[in-house]
Structure 1
């Protein structure tokens, strides 16, 4: 009787394939497994699984992209703000043209004729300053005079010119500074045209006016003369030295003094025009009234 052998059991063998076409399958005899065929089957199954994994990843990415597109599409057509459609044009608001204030009157009109030049006229209103500063030079007024006989306040041919053009009044004032004296005479006419004509035809000069402290000047010596007109006023100056010295052609002192006083007289006439123009606007009789609708 054979003795049993002790030792480690043999390793298990893989089962042999059975079935049609396998050698020994019909007889049931054990056959050696086909290891090459088994390896090919295993490799084939590995490649198929990898393709399935790759294909599945592509399908999954496509599904995610479809979900994103769907979400974007639904968000754009759903909960977002609706696009603003064309709106009807707003009806224009009614506009109201402001009522323009009346144009201020032209000051020239108030000194162009006696019809509108109604303000008080005297040496006090025309020559109000006793010590005017003219172009930074200070003068002193020494005397004034008024006469309706215009020719009596002139020398040479000026009296005839003033009378022929209808002079109504003559107002004079004398200013002195540093031994130089200037007399200005303002001849008053009814119209601007008459004053302009008297200025154009002027000849001779105004008679100088002086007081007890100022010696007579420019009565028999050469002096500086000016002639101008503004509105219905013609005004003339005569300038010279109080010591009787004749004024030369290149003399600057008499020339400057005559211009200073002539410019001052011009500004006083313009001030008269401006004051009357402003007064006409403020006057209730001439001021424009606010438009009111008539009651039915």
Structure 2
């Protein structure tokens, strides 16, 4: 069958790249010789469609291979030396050799360090509070600086008869809770003087109960001597009560010149609060020292 005008007859094969597709005219030009071959056109169209399907399937297969290769290289790079591999895909590990996500999970050895020791545990009962104890060990040095104020250390006292160093309602409170020892120390700053009394009990519960049972009349005796004039023997003074661990501590503050303490004499309030805070710190430091020694031992 001839297509076009003149020239040799050309047969088009869709599978041969050298063949040329003739110009097709799917209409009737009026001449019987030029009627299109509908069967040939349908066959050519089916061949083209089949070729496109093959190309799409082949392209998808190539894309799948490329993705699989990228995953394999990524796994090797992440779990190997960290360098990209340029070798052929045959050198990549098999699927069974590729580490799983659980294999890559880091593991840590359990720590063997014990928890830190609580300093308060060592000052809460006589069974653990074994360090040496005295007024000079608890209140070291010859003076105390709190902020910008310097307090000079005066006389100290230590007794196993707790009631003898207390007055008003405090002796009974100490006796009812089995006080074993009462230490006192006095600090001065100008005409202001403060005596701190530390009562020792066997347990924290007894010290706490003594604090709770103490009232406004539960006060310790002021301690004078060694250059410190007598104070708080007849004048109005300020007192405080607190406890920490197996220790209850008390302060009494006033003037060495005999004046009464009033709400306006703020220096006495400050001095009593400073010495109460310092006493708490010293008791806590005692617990820290014993806790540290136990941890090292």
For 1:163 and 1:123, locate their aligned partners in 2 and report how far apart those are by CA, in whole Å.
21
Which structure: larger Rg? 1
Match of 1:90 in 2: 99
Match of 2:167 in 1: 155
The offset of 1:104, in angstroms, is: 1.9
The offset of 1:251, in angstroms, is: 2.5
The aligned runs of 1:28-47 (5 Å cut-off) are: none
For 1:96 and 1:238, locate their aligned partners in 2 and report how far apart those are by CA, in whole Å.
57
Deviation string, structure 1 residues 183-229 (Cα, Å, up to 9, x no partner)? 00000000111111111112331111122422100011110100000
Q: How well do the aligned residues superpose, as a CA RMSD in angstroms?
A: 3.5
Match of 2:293 in 1: 279
Consecutive unaligned residues in structure 1, runs of 5 or more: 1-46, 50-58, 63-72, 284-296
For the Cα contact (< 8 Å) 2:155–2:226, is it kept in 1? Answer: no
1:109 aligns with 2:118: no
Give the one of 211, 219, 230 matched to 1:205.
Answer: 219
Deviation string, structure 1 residues 226-254 (Cα, Å, up to 9, x no partner)? 00000000000000011010101342111
Runs in 1 of length 4+ with deviation above 4 angstroms? 59-62, 91-94
For the Cα contact (< 8 Å) 2:165–2:221, is it kept in 1? Answer: yes
Match of 2:231 in 1: 217
For 2:68 and 2:209, locate their aligned partners in 1 and report how far apart those are by CA, in whole Å.
82
For 1:96 and 1:106, locate their aligned partners in 2 and report how far apart those are by CA, in whole Å.
27
For 1:108 and 1:173, locate their aligned partners in 2 and report how far apart those are by CA, in whole Å.
23
TM-score normalised over the length of structure 1: 0.67
Match of 2:265 in 1: 251
Deviation string, structure 1 residues 83-110 (Cα, Å, up to 9, x no partner)? 6168444054473432341112222211
Secondary structure in 1 matching 2:143 = coil
Change (3 A) 1:90 1:215: same
Match of 1:268 in 2: 282
TM-score normalised over the length of structure 2: 0.66
Consecutive unaligned residues in structure 2, runs of 5 or more: 8-16, 21-57, 73-93
The aligned runs of 1:1-296 (5 Å cut-off) are: 84=69, 87-88=95-96, 89-91=98-100, 92-93=102-103, 95-202=107-214, 203-283=217-297
Secondary structure in 2 matching 1:216 = coil
For the Cα contact (< 8 Å) 1:135–1:260, is it kept in 2? Answer: no
For 2:127 and 2:160, locate their aligned partners in 1 and report how far apart those are by CA, in whole Å.
19
For the Cα contact (< 8 Å) 2:152–2:188, is it kept in 1? Answer: yes
